[in-house]
Structure formats: C-alpha cells, structure tokens
C-alpha cells in the first residue's frame, strides 16, 4: 500500500518518524515493500519549508493534490502541539486551507490525538464514529456534534476513517494495518526491535538466523527462502538456485558470513520456526513436523535436541511466553 505522511505548520513530526521506522522494519522483515511512504504537504516541494511544533523546518516531497495523491491508499495526519482549547481553535483557523483540501481527498484518512480535529473540521467525520484524546472531549463534542464520538475507545475505524487517542496513537493505527500484512510472529519481531523494552527470551543458538539482524541483503533473501520451503525439500542446490548462485559459492558465502556450514545454517532456520511455535502454545510436535515439512516427528525431535541441547518439551517450558506481571515497589 502507499501511505502518505502529512506535514503542516505546527504538527508534531515525531509520530511520522516513528511510523517511518516501523514501516522500514516491517518491509525488512517481509523481504519486500509492504508499505511505500510519501511525505506530503499542502504546497509540496515547491513551497516553503514547514516549521513543525519542535525541531528544524521540514520539506515535503509531493503536494497534497490530485497528482501527489494519485496512487495514495491512505494519508496519516499527525497530532498538533496544543495546551488549551483556545490554542486548538486558533490552530484550526490557521489550517483552513489544509482542512478544505482534506474534504476533497478520496483515500483513507488516519489521524490521532489533536490531529483528529482537522478531520472533524473537514466534515469527513460527520455521521461517523471517531475518537480523540480525552481532554478535548468537551470541545469536540460541542464544536462537532455531527460526529459520533467514542472517547471510550482508543482506536476507531469507520469506513476508511481511522482515529486514535493519545499522542502515541500512531502506534495502534499502524499496527492495525501491519496485523493484516504480516504473520503474527513477524509482527512480534518488528515490535521487539522498535517498541518493546525487552524482547522475549530465545536460545542463543538461533541468533544467526534472526532476520532482523541478518546482513547483507542476500542473506535475508536466503533466510526468507528457507522459511518458505518445507524442511525435506530444503537442499543446497535449491537454495543456491533461489539466489542465482552456484552451490559452491553459496556455501562459501554462508560460511564466511555466519561461521557455520550452509546446510547447518539452513537447518537452523527451520528449527527456529519450530522454536517460535513451541513458545506460543501447546501445539503438538507432530503437527509442527507436518506443517514445516520434516520427515517425521521423531526426526524433528532428534534434530531439535542436537541443535539446542533440549527436547522440544524442555524448550517450550524454558521459553514459553508468559503474560507480564506488575511489580510492586
């Protein structure tokens, strides 16, 4: 999908940069471009640089017009830095040209926090459900009575209009999209890299087959190929062909990059997939063996123990994901 990131005077660009980082990580994890970003403003690159709420002036790469939005699937409006109702009303008046343009766009519109009033002022939220930051409730209900406000909800989606509460509302907005674009395990990895303060524990034996850490690009390509190939069909010849390399070149490159034989590294990719599944629940090992293309449950059990020093059951017990608990000071 193509996602526009909107810049305007007084906006808070931190959320836009955070979205750009998350999108980059998601594209890397997927191995291809899931989301293409475009930085937009009312005047585009021909206009003057825009001064956000904090930081240096910024320049957009395209204008918010028919040409700049031609293939846009959605547009994200960031929040505004406001401290009072009076200040919000002044900012809305100053953004009258932008608000008028928003009323004409046909793509999906996403916003959060104090950016939501821009959508409300454009009339796009009339008759629709929406949410925003709690302290603006009285003002927004009074000024935009045609909107079906849901301040009890952190995220509301209504026919192509997505709104979220809080200054970090861009997170649920983007995660709602990534959940549809990435498998759960892949999304978890993206969150661990950029969002979670401490990732879940994993056996260090799988460190060399972490996609988010895999460099260079050809190694990520090889890892993705191995993940999508049944274990019994995963051989060096096929792997080399997937990268348009000779078997000998592939083996040399993998050895040089990872410090282990290519066949062992490929086997670890499949075993790492099993390890992830083991931590997620009580799925039987035989089901995993069939799903990942191993010759038998016994063969998977033997290979897993050789690689980790633990049986699959012991690994599940050691690394199973557990709900976080609150610590009391």
Classify residue 325: in a domain, yes or no.
no
Res. 328 pLDDT band, cuts 50 70 90: very low
Q: Are residues 160 and 248 in the same domain?
A: no
Structural domain boundaries, residue 23: 2-181
Res. 24 pLDDT band, cuts 50 70 90: very high
SS3 (DSSP) at 195? coil
pLDDT band at 108 (very low <50, low <70, confident <90, very high): very high
Q: Determine the average pLDDT of the residues in 212-240.
A: 88
Phi, psi of 36 (to 5 degrees): -105, 130
Contacts of 76 by beta carbon, 8 Å cutoff, 6+ apart: 3, 4, 5, 6, 16, 19, 110, 111, 170, 173
DSSP secondary structure code for residue 243 in this structure: T
The model's confidence at residue 207, banded by pLDDT at 50, 70 and 90, is confident
Q: Averaged over 98-104, what is the pLDDT? A: 96
Q: How many domains in the chain? A: 2
Q: What is the DSSP string of 58-111?
A: B--SEESSTTTTTT-SEEEE--B--SSHHHHHHHHHHTHHHHHHHTT--SEEEE
Same domain, 149 and 253: no
176 plus 213 within the same structural domain: no
Give me the pLDDT at residue 119, please. 96
Does residue 208 share a domain with residue 161? no
pLDDT at position 198 is: 53
Residue 173 pLDDT: 92
Q: Using CB atoms within 10 Å of the CB of residue 286, give its burial: 0 to 12 exposed, 13 to 18 middle, 19+ buried.
A: middle
CATH number for the domain that contains residue 296: 1.10.10.60
CA–CA gap between residue 90 and residue 93 (Å, rounded): 5
Does any domain span residue 193? no
Residue in 134, 73, 144, 133 with CA at minimum distance from that of residue 109: 73
Same domain flag for 175 and 206: no
SS3 content of the chain, % helix, strand, coil (to 5): 50, 10, 35
237: Cβ–Cβ under 8 A, 6 or more apart, which residues?
A: 247
Position 325 scores a pLDDT of 42
Position 188 in a domain = no
- Confidence at 7, pLDDT banded by 50, 70, 90: very high
Q: Span 22-36, mean pLDDT?
A: 92
Does 166 lie in the same domain as 90?
yes
168 plus 86 within the same structural domain: yes
Question: 108 and 227: one domain?
Answer: no
Share of the chain above pLDDT 90, in %: 66
pLDDT of 321 reads 67
Which pLDDT score, from 0 to 100, does residue 212 have?
Answer: 61
Question: Are 41 and 7 within one domain?
Answer: yes
How confident is the model over 175-188, as pLDDT tens digits? 889 988 998 888 88
**Which one has a higher pLDDT value, 263 or 167?**
263
Confidence grade of residue 199 (pLDDT, cut at 50, 70, 90): low
Domain-embedded: residue 277: yes
Beta bridge pairs of residue 5: 39, 76
Q: Do both 35 and 103 map to the same domain?
A: yes
Q: Within a 13 Å sphere around the CA of 277, how many CA atoms are in the beta-carbon half?
A: 18
Q: Is the pLDDT of residue 172 over 70?
A: yes
pLDDT tens, position by position, 44-98: 999 989 999 888 999 999 999 988 898 999 999 998 888 788 888 898 899 999 9
190 is a domain residue = no
Tell me the longest C-alpha to C-alpha distance in the chain.
Answer: 71
**165 and 26 housed in the same domain:** yes
State the pTM of this model: 0.70
pLDDT at 327 over 60: no
């Amino acid at each position: 999908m193509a996602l526009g990131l909107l810049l305007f005077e007084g906006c808070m660009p931190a959320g836009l940069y955070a979205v750009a980082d998350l999108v980059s990580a998601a594209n890397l994890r997927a191995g291809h471009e899931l989301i293409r970003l475009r930085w937009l403003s009312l005047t585009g690159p021909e206009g003057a640089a825009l001064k956000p709420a904090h930081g240096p002036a910024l320049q957009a790469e395209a204008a918010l017009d028919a040409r700049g939005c031609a293939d846009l699937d959605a547009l994200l409006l960031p929040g505004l830095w406001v401290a009072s109702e009076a200040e919000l009303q002044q900012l809305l008046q100053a953004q009258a040209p932008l608000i008028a343009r928003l009323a004409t766009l046909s793509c999906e519109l996403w916003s959060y926090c104090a950016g939501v009033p821009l959508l409300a002022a454009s009339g796009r939220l009339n008759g629709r459900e929406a949410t925003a930051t709690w302290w603006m409730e009285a003002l927004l209900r009074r000024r935009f009575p045609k909107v079906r406000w849901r301040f009890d909800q952190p995220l509301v989606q209504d026919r192509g209009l997505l709104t979220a509460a809080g200054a970090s509302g861009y997170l649920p907005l983007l995660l709602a999209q990534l959940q549809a674009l990435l498998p759960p395990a892949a999304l978890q990895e993206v969150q661990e890299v950029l969002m979670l303060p401490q990732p879940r524990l994993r056996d260090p034996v799988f460190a060399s087959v972490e996609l988010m850490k895999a460099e260079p690009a050809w190694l990520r390509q090889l890892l993705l190929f191995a993940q999508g190939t049944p274990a019994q069909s995963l051989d060096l010849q096929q792997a080399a062909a997937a990268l348009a390399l000779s078997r000998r070149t592939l083996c040399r490159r993998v050895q040089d990059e990872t410090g282990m034989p290519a066949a062992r590294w490929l086997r670890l990719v499949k075993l790492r997939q099993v390890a992830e599944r083991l931590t997620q629940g009580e799925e039987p090992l035989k089901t995993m063996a069939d799903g990942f293309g191993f010759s038998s449950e016994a063969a998977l059990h033997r290979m897993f123990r050789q690689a980790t020093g633990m049986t699959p059951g012991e690994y599940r017990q050691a690394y199973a994901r557990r709900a976080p608990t609150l610590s009391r000071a």
